[in-house]
Structure 1
Amino acid sequence: MTQPRICFLVGALILSCTCVSCSKDKCAVNEHNPNSNTSYDFVPHILHALAIHRPCVIGDPKCLCHVATIQRDLEPYVDKGITPEMMAQSKRLGTFYQIIRGRIYRQQKCLHPKRCADVEDLLLDMASGVADLEFVLNVRDWPQVHFLSGLSGPVFSYSITNRHLDIMYPAWSFWTTTGPILQHYPHGVGRWDWMRKHLVARASELPWSAKRAIGFFRGSRSSPERDSLVRLSQRRPDLVDAQYTILATDADPVEKMPLVEHCQFKYLFNFRGVAASFRLRHILLCRSLVLHVGDQWQEFFYSQLKPWVHYVPVASDADVDELAELILYLREHDDLAEEIAERGQQFIWLHLRMEDVQCYWSKMLQEYAKLLTYKVQREPGLLEVSNKKAVQLYRGK
């Protein structure tokens, strides 16, 4: 989005509503539109979010866009460091790894071998640039170190809440040949470098005016937060098309839909699953407006995605009537919805490249290594992780 267009939007918003934080003299958009069917008032939120937003630097080689997440996650260990006793405590919560003189070793057993292998493919590209260290990698779908658990040892997890002390790493799904079965792609939801281009290409074929002005969701019933939207879809199919692809009941699920086909809808709902959903970064690239439900679960890049700037936040307990009113509001304020959709796509395209993911891994490991209070010694019995790409190339595969 060009700078003049941003200025035009902000100017238009100011003309329609001059207050940013509303109190008794609430400046409601509906006061300027007596025929409005909604009671929402998003303009002050958008104005305030744009006023305080500081965009990341484009092409930043030091991945400073996401460095605040690393600092936050490592902060509990800054004062006293990470001790051998803490590491011993953490070993039972995941897969133990060591990086020594640029070579990677791990314990023989991994709960999800394919997930470990996908992470290792990324680590092999950067291991030579980090100091000797050891860590515990959690490849389960949920974090391990609750702040009330009494555990103090560090564990790397891909998704956490503010009640967990795990250290976030970029999920294995950024570089995988399988992944959750959400669409019919040969590479699942993985191979982020390929999926980025595929989704943006599809989005370019669907200008905003060509998208269907309804909400859309496809997914399993992995959390009850999704039920209200599905019920609304049953009552008002003119507003929402939301259906389950996997159910815990005897009802018949619908067919899965490729992610690129989600791009044909203006309003795409994102819900957490067991933890954070891998879907979010994908649907943002559709240049559709993402309605992100709840704010409990996080991935490493979420903190730089700002509500009202890159997406519209939705309460996790929003009921059927509230969701209907939200979609009606967005229809009445189509320009606002389009602007947010464009900023959301631009953020993911510019600041969540594969080089940003690799930079984050490298920066996180470098800062983590500084906190170890002991010299890492090679532990016997560990398996050395080979450079599978080099072996495949040598064998002509």
Structure 2
Amino acid sequence: MKGHEEKLMRKLFWLRPAFQRHSQWWDWRSCKKRAPLTSTLLLLFFVLLFISLLSFIGWIDLGKYGGYSSQKAIQNFSKKPRNTLEFPLDCTSWNHTNTCPKNYQLSYNRCESFAGINCPEYFRWIHEDLKHWKQTGITKEMVEKARRTAHFRLTILDGKVYVEKFRQSIQTRALFTMWGIVQLMRSYPGKLPDLELMFDCDDRPVVQAKDFRQPGSEPPPLFRYCSDWRSLDIVFPDWSFWGWAETNIRPWRSVLNDIKEGNKRVKWEDRVPYAYWKGNPHVCPWRADLMKCNVTDQNDWNTRLYVQDWVAESQKGYKQSNLGDQCTHRYKIYIEGWAWSVSEKYILACNSPTLLMTLRWYDFFIRGMIPQHHYWPVRENNKCRSLKFAVEWGNNRTEKAKAIGEAGSRFIHEDLKIEYVYDYIFHLLNEYAKLLKYKPAVPPNAVELCSESLACPVDGNWRKFMEESLEKSPSESTPCTMPPPYQPQELKAFIDGKVRATKEVEAWENEYWDKQNKKHQ
């Protein structure tokens, strides 16, 4: 039997050159050019079939050559290579040294063959947000001008992140924004360029376009969570994607899963046939005005509106605030607060048409959404009548209304998943870095940022949500492919189309109320 085994091994040795030519995919990190998949699989099939036959008739004991059965070998060959590199949160070392780990700051060889997915269309607005500095570039002086209102300066240098803090933000906005950036660095280690930026964590934009119309008067590049059509602030995903500890709202991955499960509990046709809103009406006049549209003994505007008392909720353990339990009405209302509201993404995810009040501000993704397709536009200056019509229209055209709710929800669940949030930040920072006309340096008062420096000193929900949103290993794929800038005529056509869709709804609404008025004359 020993002679048969020696003959077999000589045959397999003779096949080795051909086998090696067709098996470059084994070393997936090398990213070499692969042979056609069909020929590779055929060759593997015949080799394994031959070995299995010899094993079956007893000529060879596969256990002697590595301890694998033929079935395990087939499983190993067919298994897609996975990234096994992990970066745990190491608070033990941090508590002893107060020094960031060195194990995840450098780049690793990612296989480029996994790339090729196109980014969602709303990524094109990155070009629009940065176009104000395209001709001049960004100088050190411009960045320093943004310090006036900034909460912190972020510097990325040689794959490491540093922060210089200027003032305390509202709650822990700055903390969780920094956390999100650090998780991006863990997802794409060593892939971010050197850069320096200023970040303002307050609500409303402050870089007014009218102040920089004179030649030689260049706007300071300032990052924040929202902007408006009169301002030049650069929009960036808000802190709540990694959790809003003060309101017990979990990180985005977890919330999306909760809402996805909540969507399954009640079919859209079986949901309460009214428009639902729950929030704090005291933060601005337009929310207080919305509460006038609530149902009373005299009027029913097809709405069901509720006040959210966060203090009372915290005392009750947030039992009535689970976002996954709020997909119970056929229509959801979105209205801004002091500026844009983080509630926007949660409302749009609910599989119910979002009745979206006329916007003053925009965040990084809403500009990619289209009225009558992803949401239903509602007039801000005549809320009650506009809301009543929207619900009447939808309840009389259930298939169309349901389709709007599903399209808006699909946009949130698919085009706004956390991987795309990271990719948006990745491309935004890369495009921004291309504009810098100077080499960044670590400020004297800056400290290095890492997961340990942010998570290890905190506890409670803050620590819990950070651990929940921790990126434990590098991404197995490269970022999505960035779309090109809008051509001027493209952008005009896109905006004009959104305006026409909104005006069409307003015309239907006017016609509806004209008929109602004639009935009562």
Q: What TM bracket, shorter-length normalisation?
A: 0.7 to 0.9
Instruction: Note if contact 2:153-2:196 (Cα within 8 Å) is conserved in structure 1.
Output: yes
Q: Which of 157, 165, 175 is matched with 2:224 structurally?
A: 157
CA deviation after TM superposition for structure 1 residue 147, in Å: 1.4
Q: Which of 265, 269, 275 is matched with 1:209 structurally?
A: 269
Which is further off, 153-162 or 222-231? Answer: 222-231
CA deviation after TM superposition for structure 1 residue 267, in Å: 0.9
* 1:278 corresponds to 2:337: no
Aligned counterparts of 2:234 and 2:377: Cα–Cα separation in 1: 25
Match of 2:284 in 1: 223
Instruction: Note if contact 1:90-1:154 (Cα within 8 Å) is conserved in structure 2.
Output: yes
Aligned counterparts of 2:361 and 2:206: Cα–Cα separation in 1: 14
Q: In the TM superposition, what whole-angstrom CA distance separates every residue of 1:256-315 from its partner, at most 9, and x where no partner exists?
A: 643233210001100001111111211222111110101221110111111110110111
SS for the counterpart of 1:370 is helix
TM-score by length of 1: 0.75
Distance 1:381 1:266, change over 3 A: same
Distance 1:214 1:60, change over 3 A: farther
Distance 1:387 1:257, change over 3 A: closer
Q: In the TM superposition, what whole-angstrom CA distance separates every residue of 1:159-199 from its partner, at most 9, and x where no partner exists?
A: 111111011111111012515x3xxxxxx334001000000
CA deviation after TM superposition for structure 1 residue 219, in Å: 1.0
Amino acid at match of 2:131: E
Aligned counterparts of 2:351 and 2:377: Cα–Cα separation in 1: 16
Aligned counterparts of 2:448 and 2:424: Cα–Cα separation in 1: 23
* 1:243 corresponds to 2:313: no
Amino acid at match of 1:86: M
SS for the counterpart of 2:273 is strand
Distance 1:238 1:149, change over 3 A: closer
Q: Percent identity?
A: 25
Instruction: Note if contact 1:218-1:257 (Cα within 8 Å) is conserved in structure 2.
Output: no
* Structure showing the higher helix proportion among its residues: 2
Q: Which of 176, 181, 203 is matched with 1:123 structurally?
A: 181
CA deviation after TM superposition for structure 1 residue 120, in Å: 1.9
Aligned counterparts of 2:333 and 2:120: Cα–Cα separation in 1: 29
Which is further off, 364-373 or 114-123? Answer: 114-123
Amino acid at match of 1:203: N
Match of 1:327 in 2: 391
* 1:358 corresponds to 2:409: no
Instruction: Note if contact 1:245-1:256 (Cα within 8 Å) is conserved in structure 2.
Output: no
Instruction: Note if contact 1:229-1:323 (Cα within 8 Å) is conserved in structure 2.
Output: no
Q: Which of 76, 81, 87 is matched with 2:132 structurally?
A: 76
Amino acid at match of 2:324: V
Q: How many pairs are equivalent?
A: 322
Aligned counterparts of 1:146 and 1:161: Cα–Cα separation in 2: 9
Distance 1:91 1:62, change over 3 A: farther
Instruction: Note if contact 2:356-2:378 (Cα within 8 Å) is conserved in structure 1.
Output: yes
Q: Which of 185, 202, 205 is matched with 1:143 structurally?
A: 205
Match of 1:65 in 2: 121
Distance 1:370 1:308, change over 3 A: same
Instruction: Note if contact 2:155-2:162 (Cα within 8 Å) is conserved in structure 1.
Output: yes
Instruction: Note if contact 2:355-2:390 (Cα within 8 Å) is conserved in structure 1.
Output: no
Amino acid at match of 1:241: R
Amino acid at match of 2:293: L
* 1:178 corresponds to 2:279: no
CA deviation after TM superposition for structure 1 residue 385, in Å: 1.1
Match of 2:444 in 1: 380
Aligned counterparts of 2:451 and 2:322: Cα–Cα separation in 1: 32
Match of 1:40 in 2: none
Match of 1:16 in 2: none
Aligned counterparts of 1:230 and 1:154: Cα–Cα separation in 2: 38
SS for the counterpart of 2:420 is helix
Instruction: Note if contact 2:293-2:301 (Cα within 8 Å) is conserved in structure 1.
Output: no
Q: In the TM superposition, what whole-angstrom CA distance separates every residue of 1:218-241 from its partner, at most 9, and x where no partner exists?
A: 111223323454222233457211
* 1:369 corresponds to 2:436: no
Q: In the TM superposition, what whole-angstrom CA distance separates every residue of 1:55-110 from its partner, at most 9, and x where no partner exists?
A: xxxx9745243321100100000000101111111112211111111111111344
Amino acid at match of 1:168: V
Instruction: Note if contact 2:295-2:301 (Cα within 8 Å) is conserved in structure 1.
Output: no
Match of 2:380 in 1: 316
Distance 1:384 1:278, change over 3 A: same
Which is further off, 258-267 or 146-155? Answer: 146-155
Unaligned runs of 5+ in 2: 1-114, 213-217, 311-318, 457-466, 468-521
SS for the counterpart of 2:442 is coil
CA deviation after TM superposition for structure 1 residue 322, in Å: 3.3
CA deviation after TM superposition for structure 1 residue 390, in Å: 10
SS for the counterpart of 1:161 is coil
* 1:107 corresponds to 2:170: no
Distance 1:238 1:65, change over 3 A: closer
Distance 1:292 1:193, change over 3 A: same
Aligned counterparts of 1:374 and 1:274: Cα–Cα separation in 2: 36
How much is the aligned-residue C-alpha RMSD, in angstroms?
2.5
* 1:98 corresponds to 2:155: yes
CA deviation after TM superposition for structure 1 residue 148, in Å: 2.5
Which is further off, 67-76 or 100-109? Answer: 100-109
SS for the counterpart of 1:234 is coil
Amino acid at match of 1:226: R
Unaligned runs of 5+ in 1: 1-58, 182-187, 248-254
TM-score by length of 2: 0.58
